[in-house]
Structure 1
Amino acid sequence: MPGTLWHSPAALAWLQTILRERFGHAFVLQAQPDGSGMALRLPGDARCISLALNGATFARADSDLPCTLWNAAAEGWQPALPGALPAPGAAQLPAPLITPADNGWHIGYDILGLTYWMLTRQEEVGRTDLDNHGRFPAVHSHAYKHGYLERPVVDEWLHVLGQVIARTWPGIALKQHQFSMKVSHDVDAPSRYGFASAKGLLRAMAGDVLKRGDIKNALRAPWIRLNTRDALHPSDPFNTFEWIMDLSDQHGLTSAFYFICGRTSAMDADYEPEHPAIRALMRRIHERGHEIGLHPSYGTYQKPELIAQEAQRLRTVLAEENIRQAEMGGRMHLLRWEQPTTLRAWADAGMNYDSTLSYADRPGFRCGTCFEYPAFDSVLGQALKLRVRPLVVMECSVIATRYLGLGLGEEAKRKINLLKNACICVGGCFTSLWHNSELKMMEEQELYMNMLHKQFK
């Protein structure tokens, strides 16, 4: 399903915004009338960077594009990450790739087309090769097939473009980005026992005894259930919220907690946002200076009206509790996503940002970037009033046997730190998802703490 050509007027205006956010200057993009290239200029300056234009390739909604590699260091340019730089969409590249030209430089690769294709997720539009939850899986993506899913390839190419800009306009002060982290927590299960039905409680107790050998928690379960009225019980194994916020405070981070506010499937939560214990939890999160957001229920990703309803339900609860926030964002339940239906639904619901876009089956850079950016609907060819905050790693994508299956040991630590280090190298943001219910064991807590501590380059 072809989308809008990336060099349409609306797309060019959006890309100019991307460049202004990245480099701190209002560059102007102009497509050559014959479609042979793209010119990047500063207003009132005769100097120019010309780039190859591969518009048809980067309007494709499939994963069968060619891909080659470029050795930046061999041609005198500084790569952001070690190794040759993947060049999606190109079967081969000219050598040298970047050459002097009249009043500037020429780049023989369509960096801006790649940026458009990756950030708009045009690759995913209309796909039918989905998993059992209706999600486009990593293993079908171009990035996975060509081995660059764990690299922020857009950020790497923009790093090169920044060097060309500096040579074209010597002395220009480009915006400097500093590495940062954002931690978020989908509240699928705020309590192990507190909101369970009688049948659900018995099932949980049986699981504690038979699967985990945890007789202590099984015996406490009825007491916890009876005493989860006005607040979560302190002995509930899923009640890790204070621990999470303590750790975030120690690291100067703000934890974002995303709450489910609807029932569209048995896959959804067993609590209601209006419950006194959930209201108390939200008040506590707000009192401590952390964030509350939306986690739309399982059946909403193709139904914008339901996302809007659930967003309003959350806003109502927050207003009743006198909780005011500068912005509200969140993430889809189980990372269910249909491009661009779900993206537009978030914008139409008046949300400020979405942080869904990572693959469930593999961690990495689904959008090719670790920087937050303005959303663009490639089908309608429109910029949206919404920010996309790419998710780099979800804990179960790394740990769970149904996904990468690395467990809780050194392999998992290495994988998480590899992805974090890639964000450090490009000065981006390492955005993580760790469920409150997946921090009940010491090994889980140690892996989470390691993720927050470890920094290197």
Structure 2
Amino acid sequence: MILVYTHTITPRIRYIFKHILTRTLLIPVGFTSKVEEFVAHNGPKISYTKTPLGNEFFVKSNDLMFEQGVNDLDINMQKWEEVPCFFASGGKSAIPFDIFAASFYLITRYEEYLPHVKDIHGRYTAEQSLAYKNGFLEKPVVDIWAYKLLKVLKEKFPEYEYKSRSYKYVSTIDIDNAYAYKYKSLIRTFGGLFNDIFKFRLLNVWNRLAVVSRLKKDPYDTFAEILRIKKQYNARTVFFCTVSDYNTFDTNVSASKTKYKLQIKELVDYARVGLHPSYFTMQNPGILKKEKQRLENITNMPVLRSRQHYLRFNLPDTYQQLIDLEIEEDYSMGYASNVGFRASTCTPFYFYDLDFEIQTPLKIFPFALMDATLNDYLKITPKQSLGKIRDLRNEVKAVNGMFITLFHNETLSNYLRWKGWKRLYESMVKIATS
């Protein structure tokens, strides 16, 4: 165990020290504000305050860790051996910046509580983030800092037995549209047909008629292929299912359709299944509760994980709503427009509520990339995407983190805008699990 001395033990300090030392580096941590207890401790120890007590391992603390609420902070970037960092400490500090305050700032998404301009879907944008502005969005700097800290700790305390975690991969699949044409209502089927005819999309007309008349398999029905890849590469896979009412942004088949219910039940037999809360749940917790109950009625088991549709969430409101509904895991932490690490980490972490200054039971699983980001926002080819995926995987593997990807069942369809993308998913899983 590492004993940490600080003049005041705050919830912020307990939270971030446990994340960096225990969850990331697998080192148990204890806390004391008594100098005599700290001095008497024979094992590894860190003092975290304004001035060192002696010649111990000392990290100069930033005021952020002793404050409450959110304030507008001045952040000046620097480098720690080529790695961007901030909250410089200087003096007798063992490292040149306050790694704990900087990590806390990034992981809690402190900047998202400050005034900002939202995009058309009401989301915080990557371009406003510190990581984007300073060129480290595609690096899990919190984990990189942690491993650099580990190196310094090993030099200071060589006799301590350090454990190491292992790299993990999780493939997540969002089901926005389980089927392109099957099991839609007559109104939607004929409406879509006339729309395609009016816009002279004859290939769509043929495909719709062929699928509806059972001459052809529905292009979005790629679940058997995803499960085959899961089994072949032993990839942990989580499906997020939409069970919302129909609206402009949620166009899946109705959750009352027997075939869709059976498909969800089949997925539960082979993989983990979570809720994909619909577009308007961000403003309406009542809809969120209804959709959770709807999915639980289909699966006959509690819904413990979710990811917001369109990645729409507000901090801390959306996460507070998930906690109220006893959701344990959220997978929404990422940007639609950019790949990379929104919270600057590839380690799952517990949501820290800056409104109430507490660590909550909601565990956040940050993803590194989404198929729609590569295709729709970055507009790169499947081949170029594979290079980007490999780079991100390497970043995560270098710190033994968790590499999480977000794809849709539609991506494997090789249909319309996903033409040529089917092979990418299997190639990605192969790389990620190798």
Q: How would you bin the TM-score normalised by the shorter chain?
A: 0.7 to 0.9
Q: Does 1:239 align with 2:239?
A: no
1:100-111 equivalences under 5 Å are: 106-111=94-99
Q: Corresponding residue for 2:317?
A: 341
Q: Which residue number corresponds to residue 372 of structure 1?
A: 348
C-alpha separation in 2, matches of 1:54 and 1:380: 20
Matched, 1:52 2:60: yes
What corresponds to 1:389 in structure 2?
Answer: 365
RMSD between aligned residues: 3.2
- Aligned with 2:84 (options 72, 83, 86): 86
Q: Work out the CA distance in 2 between the residues paired with 1:55 and 1:161.
A: 20
Q: 1:245 to 1:61 in 2, by over 3 A?
A: farther
CA distance in structure 2 between the partners assigned to 1:209 and 1:393 by the alignment: 36
State the shift of 1:381 in Å.
Answer: 0.4
Aligned to 1:14: 15
Matched residues in 2 for 1:257 and 1:41: separation?
51
Q: Displacement of 1:244 after TM fit? A: 0.7
**Contact residue 125 and residue 339 of structure 1 kept, 8 A:** yes
Distance 1:127 1:9 in 2: 26
Q: What residue number does 1:405 align with?
A: 379
1:306 is matched with: 287
Partner of 1:317: 298
Are the structure 2 counterparts of residues 241 and 425 from structure 1 closer, same or farther at C-alpha, using a change threshold of 3 Å? Answer: same
Q: Show the 5 A alignment for 1:73-152.
A: 84-90=82-88, 94=90, 106-152=94-140
C-alpha displacement at 1:208, in angstroms? 6.6
- Counterpart of 2:394 in structure 1 is 421
Q: Residue 199 and residue 309 in structure 1: after superposition, are their counterparts in 2 closer, same or farther (change >3 A)?
A: closer
> In the TM superposition, what whole-angstrom CA distance separates every residue of 1:405-441 from its partner, at most 9, and x where no partner exists?
22x2432222121111101111111101101012211
In the alignment, is the contact (CA less than 8 A) between 2:70 and 2:354 conserved in 1?
Answer: no
| Cα distance per residue 1:392-412 (max 9 Å; x no partner) | 111111111xx2222x24322
Q: Unaligned stretches of 5+ in structure 2?
A: 1-7, 47-56
- For 2:146, which of 140, 143, 158 is the aligned residue? 158
Q: Which residue identity is paired with 1:424?
A: K
Give the corresponding residue for 1:360: 336
Alignment of 1:182-331 (within 5 A): 182-202=170-190, 204-205=192-193, 215=203, 218-222=205-209, 224-225=211-212, 235-263=217-245, 265-287=247-269, 289-319=270-300, 324=301, 328-331=304-307
SS in 2 for 1:273: coil
TM score, norm. by length of structure 1: 0.81
Cα pair 1:22 1:175 within 8 Å, conserved: no
Q: Higher helix proportion, which one? A: 2
Cα distance, 1:46–1:137 mapped onto 2, change above 3 Å: closer
How much has 1:89 moved relative to structure 2?
4.1
Over 3 Å counting, the alpha-carbon distance change for 1:224 and 1:152 in structure 2 is same
**Which residue, out of 24, 27, 34, partners 2:26?**
24
- Alpha-carbon displacement from aligned partner over 1:352-379 (angstroms, at most 9, x marks no partner): 2000000111010101111112221122
Cα distance change, pair 203–418 in 1 and its aligned pair in 2 (3 A)? farther
Range moving further from structure 2, 237-246 or 192-201: 192-201
Identify the range of structure 1 (142-151 vs 366-375) with the bigger mean alpha-carbon deviation: 366-375
Please state how far the C-alpha of 1:443 moved relative to its aligned partner.
Answer: 1.8
CA positional deviation for 1:223: 5.4
Cross-structure match for 1:76: none
